[in-house]
């Protein structure tokens, strides 16, 4: 599959482009940036032709799909343009912050016969499939609650997460991961019962936050996230008979065995999950989705459900203030 890249973001340099160029079913043919020198630097390392401007990538007949690693404020617009140019799209999260936009993009992709994926890469790591199996076999009984945390140390002042005009902040930078976790395990129909976003008076973005969600069956989710904290990346599901904990949920190293902890009947068990590069797994899922329509948690109605949760969380935080 011939792929073009719209943007030279840090996540593209560190993670996604190595996964793309290393995949046997992918050829990166063009890397676009508004900065010609940056496009050239990326092309020297990863191959493909350096292109100045995103429109020029979309105009190429040899590009059948694009990877969009742009700031949150730009993702929806360039995803729309890519779909209108009849390209399949793998977009970094969040695809958009409104349910209306997400639904419109999904409908556009359907009408054009193109795949639309939102890159919540952690969903493609097998440790979460282990959790699925434990839940399906009733190992902890009925799920009563979920807690999820994702916090990272402070970034430099120029980082896009500190840019209000680019829709930066803790919610779009890291908070969307716990939200997606709640959506995965508690299902659609979640309601935001309460939320808080800590504002930074210097930049205008939120640097941390928390939310309380309720599910139709009465289960609750407590989520926390932040940009100026010690690193934390975990979730825990508590059921009527036991508990499941994933201690390195969102950024598990590709070369290390992952762990899933199971507690029940007074005992504790560690389940070992073989190392896997979740970024490579995303690329595989995208290729299979384009080629055969294979189902994936990175596409479908979850895109709209996720955007609605982000929208509702922000509304609840405003009411709280």
Q: For the sheet with 88-92, list strands across it.
A: 49-52, 27-33, 2-6, 65-68, 88-92, 116-119
Tell me the CB-side half-sphere exposure of residue 188, using CA atoms within 13 A.
9
Angstrom CA distances, 233 to 130, 152, 251, 321, stand at 17, 8, 7, 27
Question: What are the phi and psi torsion angles at 247 (to 5°)?
Answer: -80, -20
Cα 106 from Cα 53, distance rounded (Å)? 25
Q: Which residues contact 113 (CB under 8 A, 6 or more apart)?
A: none
Strands 232-239, 242-246: pairing is antiparallel
| E strand segments, the chain | 2-6, 27-33, 49-52, 65-68, 88-92, 116-119, 143-151, 191-199, 206-214, 220-226, 232-239, 242-246, 258-264, 267-273
Which two three-digit tokens encode residue 22?
A: 């290393």
Q: Which residues are catalytic?
A: 93
CB 3 within 8 A of CB 91: no
The C-alpha angle 85, 8, 183, rounded to 5 degrees, equals 75
SS3 label, residue 173: helix
Q: How far apart are CA 144 and CA 218, in angstroms?
A: 7
User: In whole angstroms, what is the distance from residue 23 CA to residue 49 CA?
Assistant: 18
- Per DSSP, the three-state class of 261 is strand
């Amino acid at each position: 599959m011939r792929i073009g890249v719209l943007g030279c973001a840090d996540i593209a340099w560190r993670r996604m482009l190595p996964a793309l160029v290393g995949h046997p079913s992918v050829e990166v043919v063009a890397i676009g940036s508004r900065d010609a020198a940056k496009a050239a630097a990326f092309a020297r390392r990863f191959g493909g032709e350096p292109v100045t401007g995103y429109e020029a990538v979309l105009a190429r007949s040899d590009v059948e799909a694009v990877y969009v690693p742009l700031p949150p404020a730009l993702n929806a617009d360039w995803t729309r343009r890519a779909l209108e140019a009849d390209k399949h799209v793998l977009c970094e999260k969040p695809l958009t912050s409104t349910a209306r936009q997400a639904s419109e993009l999904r409908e556009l992709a359907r009408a054009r016969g193109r795949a639309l994926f939102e890159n919540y890469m952690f969903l493609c790591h097998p440790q979460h499939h282990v959790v699925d199996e434990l839940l399906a076999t009733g190992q902890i009984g009925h799920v009563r609650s979920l807690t999820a945390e994702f916090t990272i140390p402070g970034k430099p002042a120029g980082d896009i997460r500190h840019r209000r005009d680019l829709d930066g902040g803790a919610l779009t930078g890291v908070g969307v991961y716990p939200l997606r976790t709640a959506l995965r395990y508690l299902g659609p129909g979640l309601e935001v019962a309460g939320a808080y976003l800590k504002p930074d008076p210097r930049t205008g973005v939120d640097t941390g936050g928390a939310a309380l969600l309720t599910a139709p069956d009465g289960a609750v989710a407590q989520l926390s996230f932040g940009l100026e904290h010690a690193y934390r990346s975990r979730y825990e599901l508590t059921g009527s008979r036991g508990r499941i904990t994933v201690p390195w949920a969102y950024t598990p190293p590709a070369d290390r065995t992952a762990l899933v902890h199971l507690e029940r009947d007074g005992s504790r068990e560690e389940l070992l999950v073989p190392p896997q590069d979740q970024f490579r797994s995303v690329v595989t899922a995208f290729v299979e989705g384009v080629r055969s329509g294979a189902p994936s948690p990175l596409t479908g109605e979850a895109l709209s459900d996720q955007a609605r949760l982000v929208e509702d969380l922000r509304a609840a935080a405003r009411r709280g203030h």
